[in-house]
Amino acid sequence: MPDDKVRFPDPASPDPLPHAPRVQWLKPLISRANIHVGDYSYYDDPIAPERFETDNVLYHFDHVGDLLRIGRFCALATGTTFIMNGANHKTNGISTFPFPIFGADWERHMALLHDNPSRGDTVLGHDVWCGYQSLIMPGVTIGHGAVVASRSVVTADVPPFAIVAGNPARIVKMRFSPEESARLLALAWWDWPIEQISRFIPLIMEGSITALEDAAAQMEARTS
């Protein structure tokens, strides 16, 4: 591979495609401390992609304490939605209705809501593709390189490089064999410097795992 200086998109600019404003990098759009997004992950929405954190991340309250973590190079199609732990209601009593939040004398019983159930942080690994109107439920981890089919409802963890579909989402196919998946996880190309990723895009998109391993070895040799 040549050592010529390569150019790459600016991850700090929310508009990577000026001719297609519906596609925006997510990281520059996020203002909330409880949402963490990696570089080069994008959201595609023909109406208001800039409203992602208010329209697509629901029931995400600071006092609950859960985080939404989205890795690098994730592709989120229109309507991808995250339900966070603030949506949970208690189910261990006779009623699930949250009386205290409506004030008046009911507010005296706010302590009854302090132990609302939580499944922890919601995590998308790197290079995850979420299809149109996919729905991610609280506390789910979706592994690196996974694919979520359109209108799937993800209620449980998804392993790396799995393709899931349905309600609830189930694995319909693995993109790679267990041995190949392990090799790709060891390569972790998404963690490479962006200059190196840019040079090896043809291998990342269409090359063999062996060729990508050889490229990684070349990079290591140059830096050692």
In the residue annotation, 144 being an active-site residue is answered as: no
Sign of the dihedral defined by the CA atoms of residues 129, 31, 69, 65, in that order:
negative
Other C-beta atoms closer than 10 Å to the C-beta of 215 total 20
**Tokens matching residue 217:** 């070895």
Q: Which two tokens stand for residue 7?
A: 């150019």
- Which one is catalytic: 60, 89, 114, 144? 89
Whether the Cβ atoms of residue 135 and residue 152 lie closer than 8 Å to each other: yes
What Å distances lie between residue 96 and 9, 27, 83, 86, 116, CA to CA?
48, 36, 18, 14, 11
Rg (CA), the chain: 20
Known catalytic residues are 89
